[in-house]
Amino acid sequence: MTDLCVRAPAKINLHLEVLGLRPDGFHELAMVMQSIDLTDTLRLLPTADGRISLQCDRADLPTDGSNLIVKAGEMLRARSGFPELGAQIILEKRIPIGAGLAGGSSNGAAALVGLNELWGLGFETHQLHIMAAELGSDMPFCLDGGTQLCFGRGEQLEALPFYSTEHPAVLLAKHPGVSVSTPWAYGLCKELRGDFYLEAEADFELRRQALRQSPLLLAIAGTKQWPPLRNDLQLVVEPEVETVRQGLALLHQSEQPLAVAMSGSGPSLFALFPGLEQARKAHGDLAEQFERYGFESWCCGFSDRGVSLIQ
C-alpha cells in the first residue's frame, strides 16, 4: 500500500478588519492572509476498515473527532459514498497550537487534498473549496495559500500575485503557556466594538475596495514602504492578554522591523523584516529576552502556496 505526505503551511494576517456582523452570526471580514514556510506534515496510509485514525507527536492535541483532520476525512468519505474507506494519519506538528496561525485549518485542508488523492476520489478543486468552507472560515485560504484577500467569513478569496521582489521575512513569537480562543476574541470584539460595526452591504463593499487599493498592497508588491498593520482583534486581545503585550514590546525592540502585529485572534505575534538575514539577526538579538519571558520563536519566509503533496 502506498502512503502519501502533505505539507500544511501556517499563515499570518497582514490585515484583519472586522466590518460587521452577518445574518449567520459570523463576522464579516476584510483580510489579507499570507502563507509562511512554517509547516506541519501529514503522512497518510490507506486502510479499508472504514476508520480514520490520527496520531500526533504533540500529546496536547486532541486526535479524536474534534480534530479538523478527522472532520475533513469524515466529510470527504461521506460525500464519496464509500463508507469502507479508511486511513491512518500521522501528523508531525511544528505550527504552534491555538496560536492564530491557522495550524488546525491548514491540517484540515491538507487532509482534504491528501485523502482525495490517496483514495482516488477525483473531487475537483471547487468541490474541495465548498467542503473546506463548511469546515472552517480559514480553511479555503489554506487550500490555495500564497497571498490573498479574504472577505465574507474569510472564505471568499481574491488571490494576489506572488511578486518576484524580495519578500519580507517573518520573526514569530508565541508564549507556549497561552492560547486564545477564536470565539472568545470575536465575542469580545462584538461587545466592545459592536456599536461601530457597519451594517449595509454597500458600506462593506466600500471597505473591501479600500483594501484592494491600500498602501499595504503596494508594500506587498514591493513598491511602497510598509504601513502599520491593522488587526481589529489585536485591539481587543492586547489589553486582556499580558503575553501579547510583552511579545509585541519585545518585537518592537528589534532593529528596524518593517511592521509588528498579532496574527489572527492571537496570541502569536510577528515582526516583518526586509529579508531573512535581518530577521535572523533580530532573532539572535532578542534570543535572551525571549528566553527570559518564556517565548518560543521562529524565523521563516513568505510562501507562495498552501497545502501541497510531497512527491
Asked if 138 is part of the footprint of ligand C5P (rule: CB under 6 A), the reply reads yes
Q: Which of 73, 100, 136, 145 binds ligand C5P (CB under 6 A)?
A: 136
Asked if 154 is part of the footprint of ligand C5P (rule: CB under 6 A), the reply reads yes
Q: Which of 39, 182, 234, 254 binds ligand C5P (CB under 6 A)?
A: 182
The answer to whether the beta carbons of residues 238 and 265 sit under 8 Å apart is no
148: cell is: 490573498
Closest-CA residue to 194 (of 15, 6, 21): 21
Only segment of 7-15, 24-32, 211-219, 272-280 that touches ligand C5P (CB under 6 A):
24-32
| Least distance to ligand C5P, CB of residue 183, Å | 4
| Least distance to ligand C5P, CB of residue 105, Å | 7
Given the residues 40, 71, 138, 174, the one annotated as active site = 138
Q: How far apart are CA 110 and CA 207, in angstroms?
A: 31
Q: Which of 27, 129, 175, 283 binds ligand C5P (CB under 6 A)?
A: 27
Q: Which of 13, 106, 137, 297 binds ligand C5P (CB under 6 A)?
A: 137
Q: How far apart are CA 79 and CA 250, in angstroms?
A: 48
Closest-CA residue to 14 (of 310, 271, 207): 271
Q: How far apart are CA 27 and CA 30, in angstroms?
A: 10
169-174, strands of its sheet edge to edge: 259-262, 269-273, 169-174, 296-301
Is there a catalytic annotation at residue 190?
A: no
3-state SS, residue 92: strand
The answer to whether the beta carbons of residues 43 and 18 sit under 8 Å apart is no
| Least distance to ligand C5P, CB of residue 1, Å | 33
| Least distance to ligand C5P, CB of residue 293, Å | 28
List of residues contacting ligand C5P (CB under 6 A): 26-27, 29, 136-138, 153-154, 182-183, 186
* Residues with active-site annotation: 11, 138
